[in-house]
Amino acid sequence: MNIVRTLAVAKKETRQIIRDSRSLYLALGIPVMLMILFGFALSLDVDNIPIALWDQNKSPQSRDFVNRMTSSGYFRCVAQTEAYGQIMADLDSNLISVGLIIPFDFSEKIKKGDSTQIQAIVDGSDSTRANLAMVYLETIATTFESDLKMKALTRQAVQSRVVPPVDPRIRILYNPELISRNNIIPGLIPVIMMIIAALLTSLTIVRERETGTMEQLMSTPLKPNELVIGKLIPYFTLGYIDLLMVYLMGEYVFRVPFRGSLLIMFLVSSVFLIGAMSIGFLVSVVASNQFFATQLALLGTVLPTFLLSGFVFPIANMPTALQYFTYIIPARHYVTILRAIYLKGVGWGAILAPTVALVVFAVLVTTLVAHKLGKIQL
């Protein structure tokens, strides 16, 4: 490989990027826009669930139960009613997600120590929200019942203190506050980098063909690998600038904790960027025009990255065949690495396998691009 020829191609491509100011603005603006949109709008935390309450008992015990629900932060009472039909109307109009009905004999059964029931009508059109609402309700009801029984046992016991048979002590590691943003931002970085890398590089070769300069490049002593690396250098630099921007936004705008090594993160990101940009080059080689190249890049990179990387949807919940297919998606490995570095602060030992997968992918795709370019020249 001739360094002079490679740098000449890099210089030519850099001038092309600077000349096309709109693409440059998009390359620098899209990461910021996506970080703001996804960082603030996308949240997996389910809280402040709106409920309507029909308290038929209106006793201190029923008020205590309602206070426990609203003070938990999971539920927010938006309406109090005296009719079943009003609850159904509020559910139909999406004003509430849960309708809670406390029966007339709620306090009497509690005083007698009998089992009592409350009715919860849950909007199941959003299955995730409905499942979490039911879990929250059951947890609050169980805690409320347990506290009542402990108080009764304490009053009846000879000793002043009754020790519960099981006292769970839960310790949450890596994300103790269970803030979904801390999990989303590290997973969002691969999505942004794949969008930028694939879309920008998907137009390089096909644009040369459409403008007629590909024939001039073919008549020079340039080798396929020199052409690929020369065109890769300016886009790699631009991708690194985008990576630095999204890292700084995650650190200072969204306050996501970073516990690992910056050096390891940027080294692994380099490998991922090379593989992602090589996919864009491959699309540019096989595409017949720039419009088709853009569409193919979107369908072939962005959608698989968003859906199959584990960024939003857990891979373990996918069908078995699809779980194996995700191993060829580079973003899957990159998401795993970034979350481990960000939240767990791990070193090379814990991320060696996904890093090797990224290296193998980058080498294979880059070699394939050079091979395809060699066929064009022949």
My answer on whether 258 and 373 are in the same domain is yes
Q: Is residue 174 in a domain? A: no
pTM: 0.77
* pLDDT value, residue 303: 83
* pLDDT value, residue 32: 86
Collect the ranges in the chain with pLDDT lower than 50: 158-159, 377-378
My answer on whether 230 and 373 are in the same domain is yes
Residue-number span of the structural domain to which 68 is assigned: 49-156
My answer on whether 206 and 111 are in the same domain is no
* pLDDT value, residue 358: 95
My answer on whether 235 and 290 are in the same domain is yes
- Complete edge-to-edge strand list for the sheet that includes strand 75-80: 75-80, 49-55, 98-102, 119-122
Domain end among 125, 156, 187: 156
C-beta of residue 40 within 8 angstroms of C-beta of residue 67: no
3-state helix/strand/coil string of 151-196: HHHHHHCCCCCCCCCCCCCCCCCCCCCCCHHHHHHHHHHHHHHHHH
My answer on whether 221 and 340 are in the same domain is yes
Element of type H or E holding 327:
none
Q: What is the total count of domains within the chain?
A: 2
* pLDDT value, residue 164: 54
My answer on whether 211 and 227 are in the same domain is yes
My answer on whether 314 and 338 are in the same domain is yes
Residue with tokens 């919860």: 120
My answer on whether 296 and 371 are in the same domain is yes
Q: Is residue 340 in a domain? A: yes
Q: Is residue 171 in a domain? A: no
* pLDDT value, residue 378: 41
Beta strands in the chain (DSSP E): 49-55, 75-80, 98-102, 119-122
**CATH number for the domain harbouring residue 95:** 3.40.1710.10
* pLDDT value, residue 203: 77
3-state secondary structure of 78: strand
My answer on whether 199 and 260 are in the same domain is yes
